């Protein structure tokens, strides 16, 4: 049997290397630091003690920002940011549809209305030209997402925002350490938000961070969800001082002490881990280049990726005799390559944003006649809708250890299947006729 024969037809699989990816990679110093906290019984920090202070100071110094506010998770950071930016009932916030649900859900949590915009077909991030067309008198903010670690086109977005007097909230949950024209993501807009969930590149287990250089925004976020003890320490502006005893919402968004300890020890390692991920990505991209039927992720020349949360691959069946994606994926899986359909979704076509009364009394569309009419349908975001059904993800590629030998075999498996696409298409056609 030839080595080039597909595994699904009895040939040898391309992937023979078995690697156990353990993420997060918890070292002994982290174990001991967490154990020390547990032994001392310091499991909750209600008054801004050392763990919160240290991680906020460290994160602020790393990004070069004046204010860093730790949160229980990235979603809480985004909600805090929307509240700080003044998003309220009926206010519209522009956001991509192709993202994790929290990028839009935080807008709803603040009482606002997500307005979905299309994406750039190469970077999969917010398209500035499309978002500008969707601005209305009710628009309050823009929420770009640095998806899969690739920074959004921030100069254009900031130019639009400043001309229209809009706030910009960066969702950098995928992009820790990424840069746009030399500036770290999360520091370019008015507010930046990060997630430290266990699968992220800075995996504290859970946790999040909101950063800004604007004291007013920082204090408003504090008032949404912080204990009176900390409010008395940090609230300075006269407009906020009457609320020190109660805050605005009473949400319990402070970071868990254990997460703060883990994050503090991992942050100094982030740049080194990102360098390993970048080397992996460059190696894999070089091996996949030129294989028909797939397009590896594109990185614009003026950015550096950060976070490396995923490795999106665009499937192009027209180059493979229109081989159905499922047939392609089944053949690749038989070779041992963990390539799967994209795990996110197009939010604008989810029930929450298409139905008139998805929850309660017309929420979230009950704020005004204008927002009640804002129900999405197929065709509203043509680029997103054309790309999303063809997006694949290579699993387990991004863990921070050298993986060149394994990725060589991944590329070999994909190349084998692409080279047999015509045969696979013919076999499927005959099978369909037989049915």
Distance CA 182, CA 64 (A): 13
Distance CA 86, CA 174 (A): 25
- The answer to whether the Cα torsion of 39, 45, 50, 51 is positive or negative is positive
> When comparing pLDDT for 309 and 299, which is higher?
299
Q: Mind spelling out the 3-state secondary structure of the chain?
A: CCCCCCHHHCCCCCCCCCCCCCCCCCCHHHHHHHHHHHHHCCCCCCCCCHHHHHHHHHHHHHHCCCEEEEECEHHHHHHHHHHHCCCCCCCEEEEECEECCHHHHHHHHCCCEEEEECECCCCCCECHHHHHHCCCCCEEEECCECHHHCCCCHHHHHHHHHHHCCEEEEECCCCCCCEECCEECCCCCCEEEEECECCCCCCCECEEEEEECCHHHHHHHHHHCCCHHHHHHHCCCCCCHHHCCCCCCCCCCCCCHHHHHHHHHHHHHHHHHHHHHHHHHHHHHHHHCCCCCEECCCCCCCEECCCCCCCEEEECHHHCCCCCHHHHHHHHHHCCCCEEECCCEEHHHCHHHHCCCCECCCECCCCCHHHHCCCCCCCCCHHHHHHHHHEEEECCCCCCCCCHHHHHHHHHHHHHHHHCHHHHHHHHHHHHHHC
Q: Is 136 exposed, middle or buried (0-12, 13-18, 19+ CB in 10 A)?
A: exposed
Indicate whether 432 belongs to any domain.
Answer: no
User: What does the mean pLDDT of the chain come to?
Assistant: 90
Q: Is the pLDDT of residue 333 over 80?
A: yes
Q: What is the largest CA-CA distance in the chain?
A: 79
Backbone angles phi, psi at 268, to 5 degrees: -60, -15
Distance CA 132, CA 147 (A): 20
Q: What is the pLDDT of residue 364?
A: 52
Q: Is the pLDDT of residue 86 over 90?
A: yes
Q: For the chain, give the percent of residues with pLDDT over 90.
A: 71
Q: What is the pLDDT of residue 111?
A: 86
Q: Is the pLDDT of residue 7 over 50?
A: yes
294: left (phi over 0), alpha (psi -120 to 50) or beta: beta
pLDDT band at 198 (very low <50, low <70, confident <90, very high): confident
Indicate whether 431 belongs to any domain.
Answer: no
Q: How large is the average pLDDT for residues 37-48? A: 82
Q: Is the pLDDT of residue 68 over 60?
A: yes
Q: How large is the average pLDDT for residues 56-78? A: 97
pLDDT band at 296 (very low <50, low <70, confident <90, very high): very high
Distance CA 126, CA 120 (A): 6
Distance CA 55, CA 68 (A): 9
Q: How large is the average pLDDT for residues 64-68? A: 98
> When comparing pLDDT for 252 and 154, which is higher?
154
Q: How large is the average pLDDT for residues 20-28? A: 80
Distance CA 115, CA 112 (A): 10
Q: Is the pLDDT of residue 281 over 50?
A: yes
Residue 51 · residue 261 · CB < 8 Å:
yes
Indicate whether 131 belongs to any domain.
Answer: yes
Residue 145 · residue 152 · CB < 8 Å:
yes
Distance CA 382, CA 156 (A): 21
Sequence-distant (6+) residues with CB within 8 A of 171 are 78, 99, 103, 143, 144, 145, 146, 193
CATH code, domain carrying 165? 3.40.640.10
pLDDT band at 399 (very low <50, low <70, confident <90, very high): low
Residue 425 · residue 320 · CB < 8 Å:
yes
Rg over CA atoms, the chain = 23
Distance CA 185, CA 154 (A): 9
Q: For the chain, give the percent of residues with pLDDT over 70.
A: 91
- pLDDT tens profile 167-193: 999 999 999 999 999 999 999 999 999
pLDDT band at 21 (very low <50, low <70, confident <90, very high): confident
Total tally of structural domains belonging to the chain: 1
192 beta partners: 170, 211
Indicate whether 239 belongs to any domain.
Answer: yes
pLDDT band at 355 (very low <50, low <70, confident <90, very high): low
- pLDDT tens profile 358-381: 454 445 544 544 455 567 889 999
92 is written with which tokens?
A: 């519209």
- pLDDT tens profile 94-128: 999 999 999 999 998 898 889 999 999 999 999 99
Q: What is the pLDDT of residue 353?
A: 81
Q: What is the pLDDT of residue 27?
A: 87
Q: What is the pLDDT of residue 374?
A: 63
Structure-token match 């004291």, residue found: 215
pLDDT band at 432 (very low <50, low <70, confident <90, very high): low
Q: How large is the average pLDDT for residues 335-353? A: 91
Indicate whether 218 belongs to any domain.
Answer: yes
Q: What is the pLDDT of residue 199?
A: 86
Indicate whether 149 belongs to any domain.
Answer: yes
Indicate whether 395 belongs to any domain.
Answer: no
pLDDT band at 19 (very low <50, low <70, confident <90, very high): confident
Could you list the residue range(s) of the whole structural domain that residue 64 is in? 28-269
Q: Is 422 exposed, middle or buried (0-12, 13-18, 19+ CB in 10 A)?
A: exposed
- The answer to whether the Cα torsion of 118, 122, 124, 129 is positive or negative is negative
Indicate whether 327 belongs to any domain.
Answer: no
């Amino acid at each position: 049997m030839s080595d080039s024969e597909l595994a699904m037809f009895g040939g040898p699989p391309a992937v023979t290397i078995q690697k156990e990816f353990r993420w997060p990679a918890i070292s002994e110093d982290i174990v001991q630091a967490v154990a020390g906290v547990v032994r001392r019984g310091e499991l909750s920090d209600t008054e801004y003690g050392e763990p919160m202070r240290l991680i906020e100071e460290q994160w602020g110094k790393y990004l070069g920002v004046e204010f860093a506010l730790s949160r229980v998770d990235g979603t809480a950071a985004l909600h805090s940011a929307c509240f700080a930016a003044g998003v309220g009932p009926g206010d519209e916030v522009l956001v991509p549809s192709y993202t994790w649900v929290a990028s839009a859900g935080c807008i709803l949590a603040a009482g606002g209305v997500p307005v979905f915009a299309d994406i750039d077909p190469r970077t999969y991030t917010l398209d500035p030209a499309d978002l500008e067309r969707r601005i209305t008198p009710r628009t309050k903010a823009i929420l770009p997402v640095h998806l899969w670690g690739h920074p959004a086109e921030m100069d254009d977005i900031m130019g639009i925002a400043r001309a229209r007097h809009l706030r910009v909230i960066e969702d950098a949950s995928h992009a820790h350490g990424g840069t746009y024209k030399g500036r770290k993501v999360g520091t370019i807009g008015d507010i930046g938000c990060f997630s430290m969930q266990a699968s992220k590149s800075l995996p504290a287990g859970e946790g999040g961070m909101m950063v800004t250089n604007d004291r007013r925004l920082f204090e408003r976020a504090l008032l949404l969800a912080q204990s009176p003890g900390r409010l008395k320490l940090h609230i300075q502006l006269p407009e906020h001082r009457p609320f020190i005893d109660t805050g605005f919402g009473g949400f319990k968004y402070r970071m868990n002490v254990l997460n703060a300890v883990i994050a503090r020890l991992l942050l100094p390692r982030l740049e080194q881990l990102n360098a390993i991920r970048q080397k992996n990505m460059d190696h894999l991209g070089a091996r996949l280049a030129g294989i028909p039927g797939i397009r590896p992720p594109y990185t614009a020349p003026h950015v550096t990726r950060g976070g490396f949360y995923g490795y999106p691959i665009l499937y192009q069946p027209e180059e493979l005799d229109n081989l159905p994606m499922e047939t392609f994926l089944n053949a690749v899986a038989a070779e041992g390559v963990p390539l799967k359909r994209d795990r996110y979704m197009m939010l604008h076509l989810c029930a929450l944003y298409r139905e008139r009364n998805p929850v309660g009394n017309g929420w979230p569309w009950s704020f005004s006649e204008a927002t009640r009419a804002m129900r999405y349908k197929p065709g509203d975001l043509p680029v997103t809708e054309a790309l999303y059904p063809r997006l694949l993800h290579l699993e387990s590629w991004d863990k921070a250890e050298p993986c060149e030998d394994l990725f060589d075999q991944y590329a070999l498996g994909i190349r084998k299947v692409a080279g047999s696409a015509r045969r696979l298409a013919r076999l499927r056609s005959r099978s369909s006729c037989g049915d």
